[in-house]
């Protein structure tokens, strides 16, 4: 490789404003490196007290392994490794050649020597660190937002848009524990769409999905602000009535049942569908009762509502479990 002159470093932002004399001394001390694709330049977890100037080619920055997808690319005119020189720490990522690459390797002593003799280099270094800090903050914010989005998606039913079984399990257990500590009332209702399998078989799964969505929306729209609804699974839903005794929960359940029965149904394309009804079982938490037993009590009451002709609300009690 032909010797480089000081002007060959003009493209490096890190060396902007650095005098020719300092550049020549840097070039004289630098070690030329040639990398082939997949060559490892920096290994995660290992201290590399060197800064590398990329003269040509492209490097990839990898977090999980040298074979993982790169999180960043480093090209000609850029530098890498200076952070490890600054803080003396182990490398936090792998740096691997993506294409044939030519680099200048600057040792730790020469790095600090340049910092001492060149105010411009020290300033460029600070600007580079500030830029990376902003980029890291932006990435952290993006990751936090993405995590929140995933967490939200994990708690909501993809079809109906209301809370899902996972959310229900966590929330109901938390409410039961709070009730055990502080007392008060807590009621739930287990709901099933009547003859839903027959409806699906007759009108198709698209119509069935539409009905599930309409029922979920109708349930949510006819509850008090403090009441909570979730899809339990299939065509079943659960309503939580916080701070509500069984008589008031029964009244609220009747209001919801009537709203669903009165809902006029049609597909988005205008195709009319028959109305559907729901059967509901309501139960109130009794002292020391577990979440599964509470839901089972409501489930048995719902089953009795179906046996009694459907489209109705039945009240369950914990004593019903003795004869289950």
- Token code pair at residue 152: 């939200």
**Residues forming beta bridges with residue 237, ordered by sequence position:** 191, 231
To which residue do tokens 């914990």 refer? 318
Structure tokens, 244: 């509500």
Q: Among residues 16, 82, 105, 235, which one is catalytic?
A: 235
What gap in Å lies between CA 216 and CA 154, rounded to an integer? 18
In angstroms, the CA 196 to CA 19 distance is 81
Residue 170 and residue 238 in contact, taking contact as beta carbons nearer than 8 Å = no
Identify the burial level of 144 via C-beta atoms within 10 angstroms of its C-beta, where 0-12 means exposed, 13-18 middle and 19 or more buried.
exposed
Burial grade of 283 (CB within 10 A; 0-12, 13-18, 19 or more)? buried
Q: Which helix (H) or strand (E) holds 84?
A: helix 82-87
Residue 309 CA to residue 161 CA, distance in Å, equals 30
Identify whether 235 is a catalytic site residue: yes
Helix (H) or strand (E) holding 232: strand 228-233
Q: Which residues of 172-200 are buried (b: 16+ CB within 10 A; e: fewer)?
A: beebbeebeeeeeebbbbbbbbbbbeebb
**So which residues are the catalytic ones?**
235
């Amino acid at each position: 490789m032909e010797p480089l002159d000081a002007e060959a470093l003009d493209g490096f932002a890190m060396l902007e404003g650095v005098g020719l004399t300092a550049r020549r001394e840097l070039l004289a001390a630098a070690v030329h490196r040639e990398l082939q694709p997949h060559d490892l330049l920096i290994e995660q977890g290992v201290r590399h007290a060197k800064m590398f100037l990329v003269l040509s080619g492209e490097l990839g920055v990898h977090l999980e392994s040298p074979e993982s997808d790169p999180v960043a690319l480093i090209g000609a005119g850029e530098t890498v490794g200076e952070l490890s020189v600054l803080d003396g720490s182990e490398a936090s990522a792998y740096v691997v050649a993506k294409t044939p690459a030519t680099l200048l390797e600057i040792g730790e002593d020469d790095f600090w020597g340049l910092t001492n003799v060149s105010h411009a280099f020290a300033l460029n270094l600070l600007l580079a660190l500030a830029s990376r800090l902003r980029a890291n903050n932006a990435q952290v914010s993006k990751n936090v937002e993405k995590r929140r989005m995933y967490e939200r998606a994990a708690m909501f039913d993809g079809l109906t848009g209301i809370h899902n079984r996972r959310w229900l399990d966590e929330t109901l257990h938390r409410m039961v524990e709070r009730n055990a500590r502080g007392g008060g009332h807590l009621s739930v209702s287990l709901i099933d769409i009547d003859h839903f399998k027959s409806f699906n078989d007759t009108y198709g799964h698209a119509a069935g999905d539409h009905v599930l969505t309409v029922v979920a929306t109708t349930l949510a729209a006819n509850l008090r602000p403090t009441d909570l609804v979730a899809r339990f699974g299939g065509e079943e839903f659960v309503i939580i009535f916080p701070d509500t005794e069984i008589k008031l929960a029964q009244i609220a359940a009747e209001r919801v049942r009537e709203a669903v029965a009165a809902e006029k149904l049609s597909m988005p394309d205008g195709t009319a569908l028959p109305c559907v009804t729901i059967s509901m079982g309501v139960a109130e938490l009794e002292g020391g009762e577990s979440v599964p037993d509470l839901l089972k009590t409501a489930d048995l009451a719902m089953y009795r509502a179906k046996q009694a002709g459907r489209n109705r609300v039945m009240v369950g009690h914990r004593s019903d479990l003795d004869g289950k």
